Amino acid sequence: MKLFFFSLLAFSCLFGQGVGTWKKTSFFPSPSSRNNDGFFLNENLGWIANGVGQIHRTTNGGLLWTKMIDKTNKTHWRSIGFFDSLNGYAGALGFGDPNNTSSTDTVILYKTTDGGFSWTPEHQLSSGTIKRGFCGMHVFNDSIINAVGRVRGPAWFYRTTDRGATWIAKDMNQYAAGLIDVYFFSRDTGFCVGLTHTTHDSSSGIVLFTTDGGQTWTEKFRTARKGEWCWKIQFPSRMVGYVSLQRNSQTPIYFLKTTDGGNTWSEKLFSNSYYFVQGMGFINDTLGWIGGYSSILMYQTTNGGESWSPLGIGRRINRFRIVSPAVAYAIGDSVYKYTVSPTGIAEQRQHIPNNAGLLPNYPNPFNPTTTISFRLASEGLATIHIYDAKGSLVRTLLHTELPAGSYTVSWDGRNEADEDVASGMYMYRLQTEDFTETKKMMLLR
């Protein structure tokens, strides 16, 4: 998709002091669940997964989101990752979790080979008798994924080194009661974090380390207090790393930090007031964010966690995804995007269309998905509706403010109730303040 943009690399280290801002994307939150995880191959292409069985995708940096799958409450998505634009995996909580009794799917890992349009069970790891599931997933490269599960136990480590052709599942209960997140530096060296007791008030946070690809683990750190779980781990550089600590009650609130590559960890104060911390992410060694609370918004640090200030945006953040030194995403009740705009550089635009226009969809006829392209000559509210042959509204694909530029949006042959519509002729209409155009397309089931 061609978008209006600054035609320069937004790295403040190259262009001087940059100003970063967080903005909410167009994602409309589910009424009953937050988004647990997200994965972005680049600034534009990404996927998010939530606790009510939905996976959504954006191809334009959050301007538009498309629902790829909806398995209702049966499947509680906890993690998602992709090797490339087509091949990826989504991990589920599994069954038997006391806080999520509606999660009854015994398939704990699904794979896609078409960018998320369809998902099939990965039966190597599924079981109708072993209560286990996924929480954290780390895509190391285009062949290796390391993952752990689950919150409230039991503790498992999962790994593929051949793009998912084979998976191993290692019982980790000798090391921890539950595992929540994982991060690897190299093919065989990495960390995972979790909890020492499935009852939160009796638990401490724990950090584990491996140098043999997860075959054996050593304990690197255990928090001094009870009532804590290690929740997220991230290394903005090889030597500096951070771990968030979730507390369901009590104060003060701490997080963990290392400056020697994880050999030693220190407990750092976040707040003397209560804050439900889950997501934590750093775009470099010193600039980072904390989130998780449903009513108190995100906090930011510019000095490596020595002090924190409120941001006024971002609820229930569970995962930060760092795309580049200038782009990051926060995944929670909605999806939020951080971008850096360099100063002292003239703004340059790509070609802006002289006229608005609606292009023929492709493919046409289609099954199950088609792409609709359109142009906007000026900034404003743009709407795309789908109608059936009788003129009845089938679905609203787009209703948002957009800058001038060229765009694409896809339709998956479903109506507003997320049901497959019948074969036949359909119309798609682009409307702006001063422009309307309608074209026809054919769906063949």
What pLDDT was estimated at residue 9?
Answer: 27
Selection from 188, 273, 181 nearest residue 231 by Cα: 181
What pLDDT was estimated at residue 3?
Answer: 28
What pLDDT was estimated at residue 94?
Answer: 92
Contact 280, 308 (CB under 8 A): no
CATH class of the 12-342 domain in this structure: mainly beta
Domains of the chain, by residue range, sit at 12-342, 357-443
Residue ranges, the chain, pLDDT below 50: 1-18, 342-350
Q: Which helix (H) or strand (E) holds 336?
A: strand 335-342
Tokens at residue 300, please? 């930011």
| pLDDT tens, position by position, 99-108 | 888 899 999 9
- How far apart are the C-alpha atoms of 292 and 182, rounded to whole Å? 19
Q: How many residues belong to the chain?
A: 445
List Cβ<8 Å contacts ≥24 apart for 301-308.
304/240, 304/257, 305/242, 305/255, 305/257, 305/268, 305/270, 306/268, 308/270, 308/271
- How far apart are the C-alpha atoms of 416 and 393, rounded to whole Å? 9
Give the strand pairing for 136-139 and 77-82.
unpaired
Tokens at residue 204, please? 């401490």
Phi/psi for 432 (5° steps) reads -125, -175
What pLDDT was estimated at residue 290?
Answer: 98
| pLDDT tens, position by position, 137-175 | 999 998 999 999 999 999 999 999 999 999 999 999 999
Contact 176, 203 (CB under 8 A): no
Contact 356, 377 (CB under 8 A): yes
What pLDDT was estimated at residue 420?
Answer: 84
What pLDDT was estimated at residue 377?
Answer: 86
Q: pTM for the whole thing?
A: 0.75
What pLDDT was estimated at residue 11?
Answer: 29
- How far apart are the C-alpha atoms of 181 and 17, rounded to whole Å? 33
Phi/psi for 53 (5° steps) reads 85, 15
Give the strand pairing for 370-376 and 380-388.
unpaired
Tokens at residue 319, please? 């995962």
Does the bond joining 365 to the residue before it have cis omega, within 30 degrees of 0?
yes
Give the strand pairing for 266-271 and 253-258.
antiparallel
Q: Is the dihedral of CA 268, 270, 271, 277 positive or negative?
A: negative
CATH of 357-443, one of 2.60.40.4070, 3.40.50.10420, 3.30.470.20, 1.10.10.10: 2.60.40.4070
Phi/psi for 168 (5° steps) reads -115, 150
Contact 308, 299 (CB under 8 A): yes
The type of residue at 370 is: T
The CA-CA-CA angle for residues 194, 57, 372, to 5°, reads: 175
Q: Give the three-state DSSP class for 74.
A: helix
- How far apart are the C-alpha atoms of 271 and 308, rounded to whole Å? 8
What pLDDT was estimated at residue 414?
Answer: 84
> CA of 114: how far to CAs of 5, 92, 264, in Å?
28, 19, 42
Tokens at residue 127, please? 């079981």
Selection from 234, 220, 228, 232 nearest residue 251 by Cα: 228
- How far apart are the C-alpha atoms of 46 and 245, rounded to whole Å? 27
What pLDDT was estimated at residue 92?
Answer: 96
What pLDDT was estimated at residue 341?
Answer: 64
Order across the sheet with 319-324: list the strands: 18-24, 335-342, 327-331, 319-324
In the chain, what's the furthest Cα-to-Cα distance?
Answer: 68
User: Which residue is it, tokens 């999520």?
Assistant: 100
As a whole number of Å, the end-to-end CA separation of the chain is 27
What pLDDT was estimated at residue 1?
Answer: 24
What pLDDT was estimated at residue 28?
Answer: 81
- 344 by Cβ neighbours in 10 Å (0-12 / 13-18 / 19+) ranks as exposed
Contact 95, 105 (CB under 8 A): yes
